[in-house]
Structure 1
Amino acid sequence: MNLGRRGSRGEIALTQLVVAPDGRRLAVEQRGEPDGHAVFLLHGTPGSRVGPSPRATVLYRLGIRLITFDRPGYGRSDRLEGRRVADVAADVVTIADALGVGRFAVVGRSGGAPHALACAALLPDRLTRAAALVALAPREAEGLDWFDGMTESNVVEYRLALAGPGAVAARLTRAAEQIRADPASKVAGLFREVPESDRRVVADHGIRRLLVRNFAEGLRESTDGWVDDVLAFSGPWGFDPAEIRVPTLLWHGENDVFSPVGHSRWLGGRIPAATLRIQRGMAHFGAFGVLPEVLLWLVRT
């Protein structure tokens, strides 16, 4: 089933509903060069398939076929209750097979980054390269002070995860209701938490418009995806980053307060032959600006 929409930049996009083996529907979009290098872009938390990404003209120029999808419980994708980070790999394979994609690269930003690492660890025969931008490390990461440098709102969410799904759902349901009533309020609220470099990024009218659309679509019907992401990050991921053997790029803004830079430093020491890039003077939303460069790295042969 295909559902058409017009993007905020005037681009026409088709949302395709792919059915997983267990009957769940996964909402998928493709943009860029249809015959180009296939790259999956995994969205943040909360987020959706319509999150910020390069313009279609940029993707054509780079020769990239960009594939995005709503993780279970977000947007138009059905929920997979109790999912682990590792479970994304099966959904990515389902989508790739449905689209006739053999080998591909994957990049995840923020909440999408651990999921990109799951694909890197669990799909070595399908993946060419992987990138994780402003990633979180596993909650049980040995030697890492997981909350050091993290903004208070995220600390509260992840600590609530230890109390169980009900506590997380109660907090995030209230937040989601406010976002559905006024999606711009989520973006405006970011200014109170982020460093100056991120404020400059979010102050851009185009970025703000994309973020508003992203949050509104991701939380259009429920908070399930957001709740399940927080629970998945806080529990066992279902794989060890040390298992990753495909070329992997880790990028992090040094001043990030949502996923502190220590997380990527830990991952860089855990993943064999990982390339770690820490950008001074940048923070969480600096990942938007470096994405075209990362995409070029992903399709390098």
Structure 2
Amino acid sequence: MIMVVFAICLLAWAYKNTRPPPPQLCGSPSGPPVTGPRVTLIDGRHLSYNEYGVSKDIANYKIIFIHGFSSCRYDETIYIQELFEELKIYMVTFDRPGYGESDPDPNRTVKSLALDIEDLADTLELGSKFYVIGNSMGQHGAWGSLKYIPHRLAGVAFIAPVVNYWWSGFPTNLTMAAYMLQPRQDQWAVGVSHYVPWLVYWWNTQKWFPGSGAIARKPNFSASDWEVLAKRQGQGPATPVPKDYIRQQGLAESLIRELRVGFGKWEFDPMEIVNPFPNNEGSVHLWHGDEDAVVPMSLQRYIAKKLPWIHYHELHGVGHLIPMYNGKKEALLKSLLLGE
């Protein structure tokens, strides 16, 4: 009888500790304030956004930028005021669901994010076609757009896109070799995200052993990335991000949900996507640095081989933070928009 009571207590403790607290919704009595513009999506959720460049009414190019892991709508990594004015570029960035001031989406999937992007474009009246740029973990918004809303795309660019090791199109030996290149704690965190997603919150909040390095603000950047960051130290972004803004609604619906979606079971394999621009009316680009320690280059090379219609740009001496390297964001924008 004592053992039964002990087992029940243990299960109750485990259940409680794997259940995250409810999110602190922006604009609610106990939640953070709403400080920026938001659109109301079809399902009633709010999506917070920023606008950059020229007015959308006079723009030649309209871009929706999808930020990476532990980032937000203040991500200005590809914004260049002079170039945006010269080419008449309009860009909108947005907090993905659960980040910053965008409402969480407890049913978030790769498809739902693509539909959010389409909904955002329609609400802001961006027209029938627009460009999508996915940065790092923002890749699943870009892949989702190619899969679910290809008819709305003028072009797509991936910047150092994070890869799901369980996409069926990858050979097992290739993904295993790439998976083992990660720090041990990230191997565990990613594996838990895929195999036991209900445990991800507990795994990354307990104190017995290390969880995800990125959540702990210790990303596995390369030496070249750290060097670039050191050079930029003290400059700060043009628009400073408010303190604790990214995670202010809670870890569970921002970064934890991100891991579960990014490394969970996808509804499709990106390597089975059909070229959305068979007549070269648009283009898709994938940019990756050969010193990227976050995402192994071998996986991007394989994707480029399987999808030859993607323009693959491999950058020598460059790590994961591609737009921070001299001249790279200019090259990225011009290749996508001008075909240079």
Aligned length: 276
Matched, 1:158 2:185: no
Structure with the bigger percentage of strand: 1
- What letter corresponds to residue 42 of structure 2 in structure 1? P
Cα distance, 1:283 vs. partner?
0.9
- Which residue is equivalent to 1:291? 329
TM-score (norm 1): 0.82
Counterpart for residue 149 of structure 1 = 181
- In the other structure, the counterpart of 1:29 is 50
Give 4+ residue runs of structure 1 displaced > 4 Å after superposition.
206-212
Work out the CA distance in 1 between the residues paired with 2:292 and 2:225: 9
Q: Which amino acid aligns with 1:25?
A: H
Q: Which amino acid aligns with 2:148?
A: L
* Structure 2: unaligned runs, 5 residues or longer: 1-26, 28-34, 208-215, 277-282
1:74 aligns with 2:102: no
Contact 2:135 2:160 in 1 (8 A): yes
Whole-angstrom distance in 2 between the partners of 1:215 and 1:236? 33
Q: 1:117 aligns with which of 138, 143, 150?
A: 143
Deviation at 1:292, TM superposition (A): 2.7
Q: 2:289 is matched with which residue? A: 253
CA distance in structure 2 between the partners assigned to 1:86 and 1:29 by the alignment: 23
Closer, same or farther: CA 214–269 of 1 in aligned 2, 3 Å = farther
Q: 1: distance between equivalents of 2:85 and 2:107?
A: 38
Segments of 5+ residues of structure 1 without an aligned counterpart are 4-13, 176-184
Distance 1:127 1:15 in 2: 27
Match 1:20 to one of 6, 25, 41:
41
Q: Does the 8 A contact of 2:37 with 2:49 survive in 1? A: yes
- C-alpha distance in structure 1 between counterparts of 2:49 and 2:193, whole Å: 29
Q: CA 1:275/1:201 → structure 2, altered by over 3 Å: closer, same or farther? A: same
> 2:181 is paired with a residue of what secondary structure?
coil
Aligned to 1:236: 265
Query: 2:275 is aligned with what amino acid?
Result: R
C-alpha distance in structure 2 between counterparts of 1:158 and 1:227, whole Å: 11
Q: TM-score, normalised on structure 2?
A: 0.73
Distance 1:207 1:220 in 2: 24
Report the aligned-residue RMSD: 2.7
Matching of residues 1-301 of structure 1 within 5 Å: 15-34=36-55, 35-36=58-59, 37-53=61-77, 54-102=79-127, 103-141=129-167, 142-143=170-171, 144-145=174-175, 146-173=178-205, 186=217, 189-190=218-219, 193-203=220-230, 204-205=232-233, 213=241, 216-223=244-251, 224-241=253-270, 242-246=272-276, 247-289=283-325, 290-300=328-338
Following the alignment from structure 1 to structure 2, what is the Cα–Cα distance between the partners of residues 213 and 117?
Answer: 27
The answer to whether the 8 Å contact 1:121/1:240 transfers is no
Contact 1:256 1:284 in 2 (8 A): yes
Q: Give 3-state SS (helix, strand or coil) of 1:168's partner.
A: helix
CA drift at 1:88: 1.3
Cα distance between partner residues in 1 of 2:259 and 2:104: 14
Distance 1:236 1:210 in 2: 37
Q: 1:269 to 1:212 in 2, by over 3 A?
A: farther
- Which structure has the larger Rg? 2
Cα separation, partners in 2 of 1:211 and 1:120, compared to 1, 3 Å: farther
Aligned counterparts of 1:211 and 1:150: Cα–Cα separation in 2: 32
Alpha-carbon deviation of 1:206? 5.5
Offset of residue 19 of structure 1 = 1.0
